[in-house]
Amino acid sequence: MIVFEGVVAGYVKGRPVLRGITASLKPPCIILGPNGAGKTTLFRVILGLTPVSSGRVTIDGRDIDSLVGAVGLVSTNLREVYTLLSLPLRDIAKLYTAICNGDYEWFVNMMDELGFGRILAARLHKMSAGERRMALNLLALSIKSKYVLLDEPFENLDPRSRARLMKLLLSNSGRLIINTHATWLLERLEGWKAYIMVSGKLYGPIEASKLPRLGLVKGRSSKAELVLEVDGSYVSLVQGAGMPISNIDSLDRLYEVIAL
């Protein structure tokens, strides 16, 4: 389990990106939120890429500062982890799977099976955004880590690739923590826990498969499953009322509720 205790981290223009996060994340788990909510910074903190200003983060009871370089614990699709060397994708995969107890053959086979085998000889910066996204997703999954952190795994993928990736993720769900602003996948996440992240704060958990039945209502509601604070205003998640989450394709539209 990955535990946050009052975590403040990631300053932008003098203000923290994460503002007192307290949560316990256990796979399978999805973190939903609009762009700019702090989802990627949350992952960067877990990986030790963004320092914690105050509070504490532990993984399986151990402080993250004591886990730097630990093999087999956490893998990710964040591009910066794999761009230390400008190598063809095939060589990056060989290197990381060898160092991190991964499965290179699985990676190559899945790249072929999902229709991306053609880019194995390409460098990351030469790929399209969608090609790079799929390659990094599969690299993270090919490493036999206990926790796999996938940052916006479906972004820039075409519908066919999204569907194929979704099937693969469901078969690996026991070690996944995903963040995304997309909502179309929620109905398929039976047994997953969900958090909603807005303005650097984390709300939840709630059953992910329950979210499509809820709607966004401006203000505080006594019937709310969750109440979110958004730019000084409040939005309630209420069953059978408001803007249905199932009708919106992105939580970026959360701001529309505030504006109405």
Q: What is the mean pLDDT of the chain?
A: 92
Q: Decide if 110 contacts 137 (C-beta within 8 A).
A: no
Question: In terms of CATH, what superfamily is 2-73+146-259?
Answer: P-loop containing nucleotide triphosphate hydrolases (3.40.50.300)
Q: Quick one: pLDDT at residue 196?
A: 95
Q: Quick one: pLDDT at residue 179?
A: 97
Averaged pLDDT, 117-145: 96
Q: Quick one: pLDDT at residue 258?
A: 63
Q: Quick one: pLDDT at residue 141?
A: 97
- The DSSP annotation for the chain comes to -EEEEEEEEEEETTEEEEEEEEEEE-SSEEEE--TTSSHHHHHHHHTTSS-EEEEEEEETTEEGGGGTT-TTSEEE--GGGT-SS--BHHHHHHHHHHHTTB-HHHHHHHHHHTT-GGGTTSBGGGS-HHHHHHHHHHHHHHB--SEEEEESTTTT--HHHHHHHHHHHHHTGGGEEEEESB-TTGGG-TT-EEEEEETTEEEEEEEGGGGGGEEEEES--TT-SEEEEETTEEEEEEETSSEEGGG-SBGGGHHHHHH-
Q: Spell out the domain ranges in the chain.
A: 2-73+146-259
Cα separation, 210 vs 192, in Å, equals 10
Is residue 259 predicted with pLDDT exceeding 70?
no
Q: Based on the number of CB atoms within 10 Å of its own CB, is 89 exposed (0-12), middle (13-18) or buried (19 or more)?
A: buried
> Among 9-23, 58-72, 245-259, whose mean pLDDT is lowest?
245-259
Backbone angles phi, psi at 249, to 5 degrees: -95, -10
Cα separation, 120 vs 112, in Å, equals 9
Q: pLDDT tens digits for 210-243?
A: 999 999 999 999 999 999 998 888 999 999 888 8
Confidence of residue 89 (pLDDT cuts 50, 70, 90): very high
Q: Does 86 or 60 have the greater pLDDT score?
A: 60
Selection from 28, 17, 1, 23 nearest residue 175 by Cα: 28
Q: Quick one: pLDDT at residue 71?
A: 77
Q: Quick one: pLDDT at residue 197?
A: 95
Q: Decide if 31 contacts 202 (C-beta within 8 A).
A: yes
Q: Which amino acid is it at 254?
A: L
Q: Quick one: pLDDT at residue 260?
A: 57
Q: pLDDT tens digits for 145-174?
A: 999 999 999 999 999 999 999 999 999 999
Cα separation, 215 vs 7, in Å, equals 29
